């Protein structure tokens, strides 16, 4: 069955499970320079999910009912996009993309061009549920919805929301052909962009990153404090796979670079899509073989062994890092 990838309007799509409304809000720089956030679009935009205040906060990932009258305010300002769900015979996933505007809360949801001065009361990112508009619309950073849900297997509505979010960002960044510079169009029948001039196809990017729970012979784990982290927070070592590497080589290299130690007995443990903007986190366990942990002094400020009894502040439970640490703490890993 041929899935329509894109509709200009939602008239032909019942989308019974709800649609999403996404926007990138321009934000003030955080002043947290120096961290390598691969693919981050300048580090200044804040990705948000928009929703009418009538939607309960614990149902945000289910989306907005397609016939919700509140969507009328969005339709004139946003582009409607529909992508196939990955589940067999499931209805497509729909979302509205406010590519070049933000919602003006004082004007019933009308969009204003990015770059123009945002009137007071316009959307501002401020963590979870950051603003409440006059027209009853609110925004939440999609990332803020994650911490309570990752358990090693994605729940359906979370998977759909992350998929829609990944495609939203990719479409923003694939407006022009990378070969000849012509404006891209949506491809027919698959989730891809196609250049009308030279025929080049572009597919959503997914950047694999490895993350590893390293255990010592004394039953400790290796945790690192990255300079981009809040003070006192430690997490597992992680890094992107480079061109020409397999995942095991990437893991060995990252651990060597960031902590100056060698590991062995590398085993796959879990994975997690992390579309901020387009990662796939692939979690492993490994055992310490040799070397004393020593931070690289650049990205990693501190790295050391921790026992179960003296664990520091850890990442939120929505992360694969915390998931692996929790399983180790429960005696389920490695
Ligand atoms: Zn082209």
Amino acid 231: pLDDT: 95
Alpha carbon of 289 to ligand 1 centroid (Å): 49
Tokens of 258: 């960031």
- Domain range summary for the chain, segments of one domain joined by +: 10-172, 207-329
Alpha carbon of 204 to ligand 1 centroid (Å): 16
Alpha carbon of 205 to ligand 1 centroid (Å): 18
Asked whether the beta carbons of 132 and 57 are under 8 A apart, the reply is no
Alpha carbon of 234 to ligand 1 centroid (Å): 45
Count of helices and strands (H, E) across the chain: 4, 17
Alpha carbon of 22 to ligand 1 centroid (Å): 27
Amino acid 100: pLDDT: 52
Q: What is the DSSP string of 20-88?
A: EEEEEEE----S-TT---TT-STTTEEEEEEEETTS-GGGGGG-B-TT-GGGHHHHTTSEEEEE--SST
Alpha carbon of 328 to ligand 1 centroid (Å): 49
Q: Which helix (H) or strand (E) holds 159?
A: helix 156-172
Q: End-to-end CA distance of the chain, in Å?
A: 43
Asked whether the beta carbons of 246 and 276 are under 8 A apart, the reply is no
Q: Which residue has the tokens 């894109």?
A: 6
Alpha carbon of 199 to ligand 1 centroid (Å): 6
List 213's β-bridge partners, or say none.
285
Each residue's pLDDT, cut to its tens digit, for the chain (334 residues) gives 333 444 333 344 444 578 999 888 765 544 444 444 454 444 456 788 888 888 888 888 889 998 888 888 778 778 899 999 888 888 899 999 885 545 544 333 334 333 333 333 334 333 323 333 436 778 788 887 776 656 777 778 888 999 999 999 999 889 999 999 999 999 998 899 999 999 999 999 999 999 999 999 999 999 999 999 999 999 999 999 999 999 999 999 999 999 999 999 999 999 999 888 899 999 999 999 999 999 998 999 999 999 999 999 999 888 899 999 999 999 998 8
Alpha carbon of 9 to ligand 1 centroid (Å): 26
Alpha carbon of 237 to ligand 1 centroid (Å): 39
Amino acid 27: pLDDT: 55
SS3 letters across 183-228 = ECEECCCCCCEECCCCCCEECCCCEEEEEEEEECCCCCEEEEEECC
Asked whether the beta carbons of 16 and 90 are under 8 A apart, the reply is no
Amino acid 149: pLDDT: 58
Alpha carbon of 201 to ligand 1 centroid (Å): 8
We find that the CATH architecture of domain 207-329 is: Alpha-Beta Complex (3.90)
CA angle 182/97/149 to nearest 5° reads 125
Record the pTM: 0.79
């Amino acid at each position: 069955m041929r899935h329509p990838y894109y509709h200009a309007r939602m008239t032909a799509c019942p989308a019974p499970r709800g649609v999403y409304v996404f926007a990138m809000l321009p934000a003030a720089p955080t002043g947290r320079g120096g961290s390598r956030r691969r693919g981050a679009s300048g580090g200044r935009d804040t990705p948000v999910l928009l929703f009418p205040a009538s939607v309960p906060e614990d149902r945000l990932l289910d989306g907005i009912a397609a016939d919700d009258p509140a969507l009328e305010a969005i339709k004139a300002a946003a582009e409607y996009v529909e992508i196939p769900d990955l589940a067999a015979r499931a209805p497509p996933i729909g979302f509205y993309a406010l590519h070049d505007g933000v919602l003006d809360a004082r004007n019933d949801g009308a969009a204003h061009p990015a770059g123009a001065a945002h009137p007071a009361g316009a959307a501002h990112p401020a963590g979870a549920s950051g603003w409440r508009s006059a027209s009853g619309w609110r925004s939440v950073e999609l990332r803020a919805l994650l911490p309570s849900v990752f358990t090693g297997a994605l729940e359906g509505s979370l998977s759909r929301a992350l998929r829609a979010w990944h495609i939203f960002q990719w479409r923003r960044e694939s407006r022009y052909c990378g070969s000849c510079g012509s404006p891209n169009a949506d491809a027919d029948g698959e989730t891809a962009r196609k250049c009308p001039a030279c025929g080049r196809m572009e597919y959503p990017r997914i950047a694999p990153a490895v993350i590893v729970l390293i255990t010592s012979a004394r039953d400790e784990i290796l945790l690192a404090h990255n300079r981009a982290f809040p003070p006192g927070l430690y997490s597992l070592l992680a890094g992107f796979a480079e061109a020409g590497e397999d995942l095991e080589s990437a893991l060995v290299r990252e651990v060597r670079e960031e902590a100056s130690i060698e590991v062995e007995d590398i085993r796959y443990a879990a994975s997690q899509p992390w579309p901020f903007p387009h990662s796939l986190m692939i979690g492993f366990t490994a055992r310490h073989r040799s070397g004393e942990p020593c931070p690289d002094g650049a990205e990693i400020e501190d790295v050391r062994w921790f026992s179960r009894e003296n664990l520091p502040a850890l990442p939120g439970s929505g992360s694969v890092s915390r998931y692996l640490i929790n399983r180790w703490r429960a005696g389920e890993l490695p």
